[in-house]
Amino acid sequence: MDLVFFDLDGTLLNQDSALSKFTKDTLQRMNESGIAYTVATGRTMLSARPILDGQFLALPHIYNNGVTLWDPNSQDMTFENLLTKHEIDVILAMALEHQITPFVNTVEAHHHVIYHSPPQHPIEEELITKYFARSGATLLALDSLAHDRPVTNISMIGLNCHIKTMWQQLNEHPNLIAYSGPAHEGHEYSWMDIHHCQANKGAAVQKLRDTLGATNVLCFGDSDNDLSMFEIADECYAPDNAKDFVKDKATKVIGHNHDDGVAKFLRERFDL
């Protein structure tokens, strides 16, 4: 049994952060051919589901870099490797030191809740008003966060110099892993997501592989948070726009995500 896992941003999605018509048609052909596939993304369920647009209805979805698994059939949601209170305190203290606003992501009764302190920079205010406030998430004050809330990850945005320093320091912590990349808001800004170190796409992929009894796993991804699933995949593919160190780990480098590279490869690979 083939089992295919797709990263979204920079991989299956195009330059508009959407599934192109060609990609949707390709996924439909996979359905008709009985090829199992699902999504493995760093996005939250809230931000990913509108993009999926009725696709990916058969198998559980992997969100938050493996922390959250959601089954569209049973509507069940499970969590793995949530952040502990001590780890949360470490991250919040560092954010305070660097004068960066932390956005603490939780899921409560299948609803996305984001706790944050008052924004300290225009880029943070922009993120709140242009994205979070329109996303359907509930926004609450950080000081109202209860200790028993399931914290999936903590995200931040800021100047490159601050984010890079924090990224380096957080990745030295034995229980944490931080991912970072350029922000859409401007070349001088970067985003960062912090998770428990055991929370990764690879562990979630392996769990689904074992559950479904898949004999051949194919993974598609473009960034550092995809490497954990590359390590356990039988076949791993990176689009031409992927980071160089991801391409080095790939079975093959395929077409650019702006040019339906994944979908074109799938049609050839499975004779769709």
Q: Are 183 and 219 in a shared domain?
A: no
Q: Are 186 and 237 in a shared domain?
A: no
Give the whole-angstrom CA distance, residue 262 versus residue 43: 19
The confidence score (pLDDT) of residue 50 equals: 86
The confidence score (pLDDT) of residue 243 equals: 94
CA dihedral of residues 106, 107, 108, 113 (deg, nearest 10) = 60
Q: Are 244 and 176 in a shared domain?
A: no
The model's pLDDT over 9-38, given as tens digits with 9 standing for 90+, comes to: 999 999 999 999 999 999 999 999 999 999
Helix (H) or strand (E) segment spanning residue 90: helix 85-97
**Single residue among 196, 219, 240 that ends a domain in this structure:** 196
The count of structural domains within the chain is: 2
72, 56 Cβ separation under 8 angstroms: yes
Spell out the residues 6+ positions from residue 34 whose beta carbon is closer than 8 angstroms to its own. none
pTM over 0.75: yes
pLDDT at residue 110 above 90? no
Give the whole-angstrom CA distance, residue 48 versus residue 107: 14
Handedness of CA 226, 71, 150, 17 (dihedral sign): positive
Q: What is the pLDDT confidence band of residue 119, given thresholds at 50, 70 and 90?
A: very high
The confidence score (pLDDT) of residue 49 equals: 83
CATH number at residue 232: 3.40.50.1000
CATH number at residue 167: 3.30.1240.10
Q: Are 165 and 212 in a shared domain?
A: no
Q: Are 113 and 245 in a shared domain?
A: no
Give the whole-angstrom CA distance, residue 200 versus residue 197: 7
Q: Are 183 and 144 in a shared domain?
A: yes
Q: Are 18 and 150 in a shared domain?
A: no
Q: Are 50 and 95 in a shared domain?
A: no
Q: What is the pLDDT confidence band of residue 184, given thresholds at 50, 70 and 90?
A: confident
Give the whole-angstrom CA distance, residue 196 versus residue 58: 28
Please compute the mean of the pLDDT values over residues 132-154 and round it to a whole number: 90
The confidence score (pLDDT) of residue 186 equals: 72
Q: Are 153 and 221 in a shared domain?
A: no
The confidence score (pLDDT) of residue 95 equals: 96
**Single residue among 196, 225, 258 that ends a domain in this structure:** 196
Please report, as a single letter, which amino acid is at residue 19: L
**Single residue among 168, 196, 224 that ends a domain in this structure:** 196
Q: Are 9 and 45 in a shared domain?
A: yes
Handedness of CA 127, 107, 19, 230 (dihedral sign): positive
Please compute the mean of the pLDDT values over residues 218-238 and round it to a whole number: 97
Domain that holds residue 31: 2-80+199-269
pLDDT at residue 250 above 90? yes
Q: Are 104 and 41 in a shared domain?
A: no
How many percent of the chain have pLDDT more than 70?
100
Please compute the mean of the pLDDT values over residues 165-188 and round it to a whole number: 91
The confidence score (pLDDT) of residue 79 equals: 93
Q: Are 192 and 203 in a shared domain?
A: no
53-72 b/e (C-beta count within 10 Å ≥ 16 → b): eebbeebbbbbbbbbbbbee
